[in-house]
Amino acid sequence: MRIVDVKAFAVRIPLVEEFRIALGASKFHEGVILKLLTDEDITGYGEAVPSSRITGETIETVMGLLSRIRKRIIGLDPLAYNETLEQIDKMVLGNPSAKAAIDIAIHDVVGKAYGVPLCRFLGHGSLNSFETSVTIGIMDKDSSVRKALSLVEKGISIIKVKIGLNPLEDIYRVKAIRKAVGDDIRIRLDANQGYTVKQAVRVLRSLEPLDIEFCEQPVHWRDLDGMREVRKMTEIPIMADESVHSPTDVIEIIKHDAADMVNIKLMKSGGIRNAIKIANICESAGLLCQIGCMSETRIAISAGLHLAIALDIIKFSDLDGYILLSEDFASGVSLRGTCNFISDKPGLGITVNTKILEKYVVARI
Q: Which is nearer to Mg ion, 30 or 241 (CB)?
A: 241
User: What mask, x for binding Mg ion by CB under 5 A, covers residues 203 to 242?
Assistant: -------------x------------------------x-
- Output the CA–CA distances (angstroms, integers) from residue 45 to 58, 200, 247, in the order listed: 20, 40, 25
Residues that contact Mg ion, how many (by CB under 5 A): 3
Q: Which of these is catalytic: 265, 277, 315, 345?
A: 265
As measured in angstroms, the least distance from the Cβ of 2 to Mg ion is 38
Q: Which of these is catalytic: 147, 162, 179, 198?
A: 162
CB count in 10 Å sphere of residue 359: 11
Among the residue ranges 44-52, 60-68, 185-193, 303-311, the one whose residues contact Mg ion (CB under 5 A): 185-193
As measured in angstroms, the least distance from the Cβ of 296 to Mg ion is 14
Q: Which is nearer to Mg ion, 190 or 320 (CB)?
A: 190
Q: Which is nearer to Mg ion, 103 or 216 (CB)?
A: 216
Among the residue ranges 21-29, 32-40, 74-82, 188-196, the one whose residues contact Mg ion (CB under 5 A): 188-196
Residue 108 contacts Mg ion per CB under 5 A: no
Q: Which is nearer to Mg ion, 190 or 223 (CB)?
A: 190
Q: Is 265 a catalytic residue?
A: yes
Q: Which is nearer to Mg ion, 51 or 129 (CB)?
A: 51
With CB atoms as reference, the residue minimizing the distance to Mg ion is 241
Q: Which is nearer to Mg ion, 108 or 190 (CB)?
A: 190
As measured in angstroms, the least distance from the Cβ of 161 to Mg ion is 11
Binding residue (CB under 5 A) for Mg ion from 57, 190, 320, 328: 190
As measured in angstroms, the least distance from the Cβ of 71 to Mg ion is 36
As measured in angstroms, the least distance from the Cβ of 270 to Mg ion is 18
What residues act catalytically? 162, 265
Binding site for Mg ion (CB under 5 A): 190, 216, 241
